[in-house]
């Protein structure tokens, strides 16, 4: 699996020097217009096909420390009622007690606890995911997509993260069968340096 945005930046720091790496450090807010960020999910339907969906409303930020990547962090908050699987009746069911129970748990969140960088310069973000009132530690595998100046005088950095969750680990009571015990989550964001 592709790895953390830090991996590319660590390599860049080693090759390009500390001054160049330092230029990318800072705190980045997710694109406030939501045009360049997505949280999508994929789960098997009975083992016969894939069901895809997304959360339309979420926000967050990340901080990047080029000199000490282990000090970088990320936080994300998701409006669970914004779940969208392109089918109104199914979305109503997903919002109910059988799944996300959004009346009781209107938000999900991820807050990093540590960044683990290995000897090859690859890294994972380990943090707490809270979903449906249950908090568990998960690991995000992340790939840096790019960074640099934008046409409006800002500076941007983008990355994509992936993880896999077991539904029962987060208190989701519905048993969808063996093929549907896990869901893949993909987070793709573009941050604007503050």
- Cα gap 115→31, rounded to integer Å: 23
Question: Could you report the per-residue pLDDT of 50-71, keeping only the tens digit for each?
Answer: 999 999 999 999 998 888 888 9
Please give the pLDDT value at position 15: 36
Is the C-alpha dihedral spanning 25, 30, 32, 38 positive or negative? positive
Average pLDDT over residues 69-91: 95
Q: At residue 23, does pLDDT exceed 90? A: no
Which residues are 117's β-sheet partners?
A: 123
pLDDT band at residue 76 using 50, 70 and 90 as cut-offs: very high
Structural domains in the chain plus CATH codes: 5-193 (2.40.128.110)
Q: Tell me the percentage of the chain whose pLDDT exceeds 90.
A: 70
Please give the pLDDT value at position 121: 56
Is the C-alpha dihedral spanning 3, 8, 9, 11 positive or negative? positive
- How many residues are present in the chain? 194
Which residues are 192's β-sheet partners?
A: 29, 156
Q: At residue 176, does pLDDT exceed 80? A: yes
């Amino acid at each position: 699996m592709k790895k953390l945005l830090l991996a590319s930046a660590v390599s860049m720091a080693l090759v390009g020097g500390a001054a160049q790496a330092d230029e990318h450090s800072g705190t980045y807010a997710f694109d406030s217009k939501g045009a360049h960020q997505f949280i999508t999910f994929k789960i098997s339907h009975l083992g016969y096909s894939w069901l895809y969906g997304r959360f339309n409303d979420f926000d967050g930020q990340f901080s990047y420390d080029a000199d000490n990547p282990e000090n970088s962090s990320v936080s994300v908050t998701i409006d669970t009622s914004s779940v969208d699987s392109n089918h109104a009746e199914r979305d109503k069911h997903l919002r109910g007690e059988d799944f996300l129970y959004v009346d009781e748990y209107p938000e999900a969140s991820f807050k990093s606890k540590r960044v683990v960088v290995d000897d090859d310069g690859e890294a994972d973000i380990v943090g707490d995911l809270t979903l449906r009132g249950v908090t568990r530690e998960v690991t995000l595998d992340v790939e840096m997509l790019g960074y640099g100046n934008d046409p409006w005088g800002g500076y941007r950095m983008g990355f994509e993260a992936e993880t896999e969750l077991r539904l029962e680990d987060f208190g989701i009571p519905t048993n969808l069968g063996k093929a549907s015990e896990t869901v893949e989550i993909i987070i793709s964001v573009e941050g604007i340096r503050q």
